[in-house]
Amino acid sequence: MALISATADQKANTLQPFLKWAGGKRWFVQKHADIFPKNFRRYVEPFLGGGSVFFHLQPRKSLLGDVNPDVISVYRGVKEDWKAVVDKLRQHQKLHSDEHYYMVRAQQPTDAVSQASRMLYLNRTCFNGIYRVNLQGEFNVPRGTKNWVLRDDDQFEEISKLLTRAEIRLTDFESLIDEAGKEDFIFCDPPYTVRHNFNGFVKYNEKLFSWSDQERLAAALLRAKARGATVLATNANHHSVRDLYESHGFRLLTTSRYSSISASAEYRKQFDELIILS
């Protein structure tokens, strides 16, 4: 069976994600940077989240999207006025306390800079960097133990310059993928759900991204592939997901944080992820 070797200890380009995001792909970029195409016309990412692959590739032209308004607000705010965002973060740093954290958490600002700084402040000081909302769509994660709001390795100016080459949309994934055409590169890292739910994590994700969404995603990627786009997606390594993409003619490999990418079961470990290639 084919085996793609990982790039040992490879580091991404200098830009690092500014959001901590559950299921983020920093480890994937560090380990498997060689799997990404070297040349493409435009980069398309419909599940942006922390943006690890985007920051690694630093594409000349991008179409970025997410259905989470708080995520999109950060990217738009940093793109439009990174200096004002940093100034707001400095204010949050000075005022940081239990009282300030819960006051900011309860706020719903309307301008781009305040929205971006609120999301970054909460992301960096909440419990374990978790993003969670209640039934009313309100962020409800308690304060965590971390007290830094600005970091020594923040690169907001450089990130803002990169984002000027990107179109950023608050949208469902399907509309974004349907715009991808010949020589575009699509990277998809959706919430991991499977046909049958066996654990609490998957049940939680099912509320966010159902099996019908998985089927809709596979169909959209198949259409994009037919138009000449290059597709790389990650997903749960579960037989239902494997069957879904194998039936559409995609090539499947597996990886984990502890092993190299492989199409062979003998290399797969406990927390494998599926890699889907066009």
Query: How do the domains of the chain map onto residue ranges?
Result: 26-67+171-277, 83-157
CATH topology for the 83-157 domain: Adenine-specific Methyltransferase; domain 2 (1.10.1020)
Equal CATH topology for 26-67+171-277 and 83-157: no
Is the model's pLDDT at 205 over the cut of 80?
no
What is the pLDDT at residue 203?
44
Q: CA torsion, points 135, 139, 140, 143, in degrees to nearest 10?
A: 170
The CATH number assigned to the domain with range 26-67+171-277 reads: 3.40.50.150
Is the model's pLDDT at 200 over the cut of 70?
no
Matching residue, tokens 């509320």 = 207
In tens, the pLDDT along 19-52 reads: 999 888 999 999 999 999 999 999 999 999 999 9
Is the model's pLDDT at 100 over the cut of 60?
yes
Strand-pair partners of 143: 126
What average pLDDT does this structure show over 235-254? 94
Task: Give dist(CA 24, CA 27) in Å, integer.
Answer: 8
| Burial (Cβ within 10 Å: 0-12, 13-18, ≥19) of residue 19 | buried
Task: Give dist(CA 49, CA 128) in Å, integer.
Answer: 16
**In the chain, pLDDT over 90 holds for what percent of residues?**
77
| Backbone torsions φ then ψ of 26, nearest 5 degrees | -60, -45
What is the pLDDT at residue 196?
57
What is the pLDDT at residue 151?
93
What is the pLDDT at residue 14?
74
Is the model's pLDDT at 201 over the cut of 50?
no
